[in-house]
Chain A
Amino acid sequence: MLGDSSLKYRVREDRITGWLLKVPVLIAVGMLVLFFVVLTAKSWPLLTGGHFWQVLTSSEWLPSEGKFGLWPFIIGTIAVTFLTMVLAVPVSVLAAVFLNEFAPQKLKDMALPVIDVLAAVPSVIYGACGVIAFIPMVKALGGALGINTTGRCLLTAALVLAIMVIPVILSIVRDVLAAIPQEAREASLALGSTRWETTYKVVLKLALPGIIAAVMLGVSRAFGETMAVMMVAGSIPEPKPSLFKAVYTLPALIADKYGEMLSIKMYDVALMTAALILMVVIAVVNFGAHLILIRLRRRY
Chain B
Amino acid sequence: MLAWRKFVEKFWLGVMIVMLSIAVISVLGIIGIVLWRGLGALSFEMFFSLKFSPVTGEPVGIANSIIGSAYLAGGGVLLACLISIPLALVLQREYLSENVITAVTVILDVLWGIPSIVYGAIGYLILMSCHQRASLLGGIVTLALLSVPIMTRAAMNVISLVPVQLRETSYGLGATRWETVSRVIFKQALPGMATAVMLAFGRAIGDTAAVLFTAGYSDKLPKSILEGAASLPITIYYKLMMPGQLSQRQAYAASFVLILIVLIVSAVSRTLSNRLSKYTVK
Contact = CB atoms under 8 A, between A and B. Distances in A.
Query: In their complex, do chains A and B touch, with some C-beta pair under 8 Å?
Result: yes
A42 B125 contact: yes
Nearest to A282: B113
Nearest to B15: A94
Interface in B191-228: 199, 202-203, 205-209, 212-213
A40 to B, nearest CB: 12
Interface string B251-279: 11001001100110110001000000000
Interface string A187-230: 00000001111001000000000000000010010011111000
A289 to B, nearest CB: 8
A125 B95 contact: no
A167 B22 CA distance: 12
B255 A125 contact: yes
Contacts of B30: 125-126, 129, 133, 163
Interface in A1-60: 10-11, 13-14, 17-18, 20-25, 27-29, 31-32, 34-35, 38-39, 42
Interface residues of B, number: 86
A138 interface: no
Interface stretch (A78-86, A112-120, A239-247): A112-120
Interface in A135-161: none
Given A128-B34, A225-B115, A286-B110, A13 B16 contact: no
B208 A123 contact: yes
A179 interface: no
Residues of A in contact with B, size category: 35 or more
Contacts of A296: none
A35 B176 contact: no
A163 B37 CA distance: 19
Given A129-B34, A259-B213, A290 B177 contact: no
Contact of B114 (A103, A127, A224): A224
B9 A194 contact: yes
B236 A124 contact: yes
A122 B95 contact: no
A196 B9 contact: yes
B116 interface: yes
A266 interface: no
Contact of B87 (A28, A127, A271, A285): A28
Nearest to B100: A25
A184 interface: no
B177 A18 contact: yes
Interface stretch (B47-55, B56-64, B101-109, B161-169): B101-109
A187 B182 CA distance: 46
A117 B208 contact: no
Residue in A28, A131, A223 with the greatest tally of chain B CB atoms within 10 Å: A28
Nearest to B17: A98
A10 B237 CA distance: 54
A35 B122 contact: yes
A25 B90 contact: yes
Nearest to A35: B122
Contacts of B117: 224, 226, 251, 254-255, 275, 278
B216 to A, nearest CB: 11
Contacts of A121: 31, 206, 259, 262
B140 interface: no
**Chain A binding surface SS class:** helix
B9 A132 contact: no
A272 interface: yes
B237 to A, nearest CB: 6
A215 B152 CA distance: 23
A176 interface: no
Given A95-B19, A163-B26, A279-B114, A120 B202 contact: yes
A163 B27 contact: yes
Contacts of B270: 113
A47 B184 CA distance: 51
A11 to B, nearest CB: 7
19 contacts: A27-B83, A28-B87, A31-B145, A91-B22, A98-B13, A102-B13, A116-B266, A117-B266, A128-B236, A133-B33, A166-B26, A197-B5, A197-B9, A224-B116, A226-B117, A254-B121, A272-B121, A282-B113, A282-B115
Interface of B: 5-6, 8-9, 12-13, 15-17, 19-20, 22-24, 26-28, 30-31, 33-34, 37, 83-84, 86-87, 89-91, 95-96, 100, 102, 104, 106-118, 120-122, 124-125, 145, 148-149, 152, 176-179, 182, 199, 202-203, 205-209, 212-213, 233, 236-237, 240-241, 251-252, 255, 258-259, 262-263, 265-266, 270
Given A120-B265, A125-B31, 8 more contacts: A21-B86, A23-B86, A31-B111, A97-B16, A98-B19, A132-B34, A197-B5, A275-B122
